[in-house]
Chain A
Amino acid sequence: MKNYLVKDLMVPISEYAAVPVGTSLVEAIWVLERAQEVYTENKFQHRVILVFELDGHVVGKISQLRVLKALENEREFDNEIKEMRKFKFSEAFIAHIRDQFSSQKKIIKEEILREVAAKKVEEFMQTLTPGEYVSEDSAIDTAISKLVAGAHTSLLVTRDDEIVGIIRLADVFAALFHEIVSLEEGYPVFPSSPLGFKIPEVS
């Protein structure tokens, strides 16, 4: 693998969809929609919304999965799952009661959608853990380790104490894939990544 650094593959923070704490889910989705509209121009497909404090400090992120989780929002069910694990029930059993529960509860109902739309982002955002930060000067290997270890889809990129960007799993994978195919003679070498993201030249 070429000596890529994290900053070579990151998306600058300024180009990312972000909302302050206190924003409702419906407002956050509007922000994401607007960001998607300019997708064709800057090639950055937004799947995550960042949540920041009023002082600009990023405190969490909301993925599409997180929004679906907010829709499901069955605290009682979550507790039941935790309890099942605590009392040594298998994942197969948990899947069984999850199915049972899902069959009893309809998620897509107007009242539930309205309730969720009014929720504040901080109620269901994913708070950031120490393993989700990576320095912009780190080698891409460090980012791969952190993505794999935490099963993250993106990492926040730091310069000193400041967050300057995001490095996404898809971009890291694209770069890696590009390298793999270029190793083998006879395999087609793509001029840019299959996802359309241009691999920057590295000196």
Chain B
Amino acid sequence: MKVLRQLFKRIVQRVNINLRELNFDVSPFAVELIPLDQMSKFYAFYGITPDHPLDLHFEHSAIAGSYFLGKSRVRSSIVYKSDIRGDELKRKGSDVNFKKFILTLTKDEIIDIEDSILIKTLVHNYSHDPETPEKFFIKDTLAMDYANIHGSPSDGCFLGPFATVDLTTMRDCVIGAYSYVQAGEISHLKVDPGTIWVNSNNNFNFFYKYPEGTLEHYVSLSPDKVPWGILIDFIEERKSEFQRVFDYVNHEVIESIPKTASLDRYAVVLPVVTIADNVLVAQRAYIENSDLGKGANAQENCFIINSTLEGNNVTAHGAKIIEADLKSNVFVGFNSFLFGKKESRLTINEGCVIMPHTIVDIEVPLEIPPEHLVWGLVRNGEELAENSISLEKLSEIKSIFSQGKMCFEGNGAMFVGAFKERIHHILHANGAFYKNWENAGHAQKNQRLSLNTIQPFQFGVKEGMYPNIKIQP
């Protein structure tokens, strides 16, 4: 394990060098974070499909428990139980439009991970950096448990647990636990835990920060400790179910799944679950006693328990829906935690947008009216009134607006429009609108996917490391 230890030390140093201006030292977090002895216990696996290039390259890396799809390269990195999903990467010959520029790609885009540590992290989408359209780079970066790096090239960054960076190029930044950033480009920025920031230059700017002392109950992070809080406990309690699906090579097929829907073999499904047409259930999703209506999706690290999703629902990466009834076209953003209870169910009406990283934790039944935007912490009706707004009212905002701890500046109609357009795009990409052989998306294409596994060195100085491997057709 000597090589693995050296690699770990080297990456931590590289991240620290990048973050020296922010005076942020990742070492204390990293020491407790990475169970090096686990690195030889889990196999890595990759998908083979006719729909995406098979071009994988692993070099001087440890990739235990991680999943790879599409074109990716991992060098001098530790990638633990992470999903590197390259099924939305740009393809050779496609055009990239940026302002007045149109750039035609001369090769397929690649996810390029170098000198980085990713723990239970999701990497998905494609690089939105117009300067590197063919390379989705992740370099000198440390991402903690359940972070999402979504279309966001990263150089010299730290992402706390449950942090999401979405469609943003980041350089030398610290993103606090449970923070969500979508801002195009950021550098040398330290973002406090629980910050939700969506900025589109000259168009709109949305900002919310969890009130002091409220977030710690759900997710906490301190040096020399692994992350803790209700969100971590919630996942830990269901860990054994995932162990079961990863232990067996061939799983029993659930017969009731329509041919147009996709249930990943690394998803947990517990009775009684109904799955309608065009549904997508991704790997590491957890579905228990729930109904997924036509076109609904459950992305990586989602939990849907004792709930109904009427149809065309997006449950973005890491979102959790418990004891809830969602009408059609409800969007639940990244890592949101909708925590209804048996005696106090949560109802979300049509067309609602639950902002990424929203927590709804209720002890009495709560109903969210149709076409509303909801954000932040909601534990009762009073907090719902403070942390929600109808999409119609939001669309009328022309310049400045604040409500509770939420600040908004810019064009409300553009903000609503951008969200609606993105939700439509996600549903389309996931195959929610598939009909008569048209509009196929992940739900349909994933059915043509098979998986292979690769194993690490089990003994000697390289224990936990993986052999250098190139996998091509």
B25 within 8 A of A: no
Interface residues in B80-107 by Cβ distance below 8 A to A read none
CB distance from A166 to the nearest CB of B (A): 36
B197 within 8 A of A: yes
A92 within 8 A of B: yes
> In the complex, what residues of B have CB within 8 A of residue A30's CB?
none
Known: A87-B205, A88-B205. A96 touches B400 (CB 8 A): yes
> In the complex, what residues of A have CB within 8 A of residue B199's CB?
87-88
Whether A97 pairs with B407 at a CB distance below 8 angstroms is yes
Whether A89 pairs with B407 at a CB distance below 8 angstroms is yes
Main secondary structure of the interface of A (DSSP, over half): helix
B402 within 8 A of A: yes
- Size category, B interface: 10 to 19
Q: How far is the CA of A97 from the CA of B407 in the complex (A)?
A: 9
Closest residue of chain A to B192, judged by CB?
A: A83
**CB-based closest 7 A-B pairs:** A93-B409, A96-B400, A87-B207, A93-B400, A87-B197, A89-B409, A88-B199
Whether A97 pairs with B402 at a CB distance below 8 angstroms is yes
Interface residues in A70-94 by Cβ distance below 8 A to B read 83-84, 86-90, 92-93
B1 within 8 A of A: no
Q: How far is the CA of A83 from the CA of B409 in the complex (A)?
A: 14
A40 within 8 A of B: no
Partner of A92, one of B183, B201, B209, B400: B400
Interface residues in B165-213 by Cβ distance below 8 A to A read 183, 189, 197, 199, 201, 205, 207, 209
Q: How far is the CA of A84 from the CA of B409 in the complex (A)?
A: 11
Known: A86-B189, A90-B409. A100 touches B205 (CB 8 A): no
Q: Which residues of B contact A (CB under 8 A)?
A: 183, 189, 197, 199, 201, 205, 207, 209, 399-400, 402, 407, 409
CB distance from A89 to the nearest CB of B (A): 6
Pairs A–B under 8 Å by Cβ, sample size 18: A83-B209, A84-B207, A87-B197, A87-B199, A87-B205, A88-B183, A88-B199, A88-B201, A89-B207, A89-B407, A90-B409, A92-B399, A92-B400, A93-B400, A96-B402, A97-B402, A97-B407, A100-B402
Whether B205 pairs with A89 at a CB distance below 8 angstroms is yes
Q: A84-B407, A88-B201, A97-B407 given. 5 additional CB < 8 A pairs?
A: A88-B205, A89-B207, A89-B409, A92-B400, A93-B409
> In the complex, what residues of B have CB within 8 A of residue A87's CB?
197, 199, 205, 207
Q: How far is the CA of A90 from the CA of B204 in the complex (A)?
A: 11
Q: How far is the CA of A90 from the CA of B399 in the complex (A)?
A: 10
Residue-wise interface mask of A (17-45) relative to B, using a CB-CB cutoff of 8 A (1 in contact, 0 not): 00000000000000000000000000000
Q: How far is the CA of A97 from the CA of B209 in the complex (A)?
A: 15
CB distance from A88 to the nearest CB of B (A): 6
Closest residue of chain B to A96, judged by CB?
A: B400
Q: How far is the CA of A88 from the CA of B202 in the complex (A)?
A: 10
> In the complex, what residues of A have CB within 8 A of residue B205's CB?
87-89
Whether A93 pairs with B407 at a CB distance below 8 angstroms is yes
Q: How far is the CA of A98 from the CA of B199 in the complex (A)?
A: 21
Closest residue of chain A to B209, judged by CB?
A: A83
> In the complex, what residues of B have CB within 8 A of residue A83's CB?
209
CB distance from A176 to the nearest CB of B (A): 40
Q: How far is the CA of A89 from the CA of B199 in the complex (A)?
A: 10
Residue-wise interface mask of A (81-120) relative to B, using a CB-CB cutoff of 8 A (1 in contact, 0 not): 0011011111011001100100000000000000000000
Residue-wise interface mask of A (124-162) relative to B, using a CB-CB cutoff of 8 A (1 in contact, 0 not): 000000000000000000000000000000000000000
